[in-house]
Structure formats: structure tokens, C-alpha cells
Amino acid sequence: MRLGRPALEADLAAIRAVRKRVADEIKIMVDFNQALTLAEAKRRCRAIDGEGIYWIEEPIRADDFSGCSLIRKEIQTPIQLGENFMGPEQVAQALAAGASDFVMPDAERIGGVTG
């Protein structure tokens, strides 16, 4: 589900509304669509850490691998990147930086299957 509303409280309310209405075995994944600054991402990711989220996708710019690594080290909820990697080099850079727990590359953007 998409997050990044103007207020953190609205994001929390949305998560809780969905969690209340779906079965416990349903995994909820959230996506900030690169909308947050590093400081705001840390604040929001910490706030949703206990909400039973499966992963947090792209809390900050997708190519800010060092920032994503910092967030990843500070929270328990896994971080997911990949759909905006441009070429196999960015995949390698993200992995080397420890920027995410999950990687979901877009095959077209990384140069196809061989990329």
C-alpha cells in the first residue's frame, strides 16, 4: 500500500485500517515511492516498525544506497529496493552498500534477464 501522506498519523491510521480488515496471514507491504527525506524516513519507519509490515519499499530516493543502509540498520522491518535500479551496476552498488533486505528489480531497467 502506498504511504507518504502529509502527516505520519495518517499513514499509521491507513496501516491500522487495512490490518484490521485483512486476515493475519496476509502480508502488508508499504511503499513510500521515494517521497521522504532521510530524517523523515527514519522517523516514519521507526513509527511503523511495530505495525506488522512485511517490508517498506523505497522510503527515500532509490539511488541513495548509503541512506537506505542507515535506515535498514536502525529499524527491524525489512527494506525493499529494486524497481528503479538502472542497470546491473546499481544492483551491485545497492547490494554492496547493504541498502536493502529484499531486491525486486525491473528486468527492463536492468538490461533484461542477462542484466
- Helix, coil or strand: residue 19: helix
Tell me the angle at which helices 88-97 and 65-74 cross, rounded to the nearest 10 degrees: 40
What's the pLDDT at 98? 97
Ordered mean pLDDT values, 10 residues apiece, the chain (115 residues): 97 97 95 97 96 97 97 97 90 95 89 78
pTM over 0.85: yes
* Cell 496476509 belongs to residue: 26
Would you state the pLDDT for residue 21?
Answer: 96
pLDDT tens for residues 54-70? 999 999 999 999 999 99
- So what's the pLDDT on residue 16? 97
Per-position DSSP letters for 75-110, written without gaps between them: -SSPEEE-TT--SHHHHHHHHHHT--SEE---TTTT
Task: Walk me through the domains of the chain, giving residue ranges and CATH numbers.
Answer: 8-103 (3.20.20.120)
pLDDT of residue 110: 83
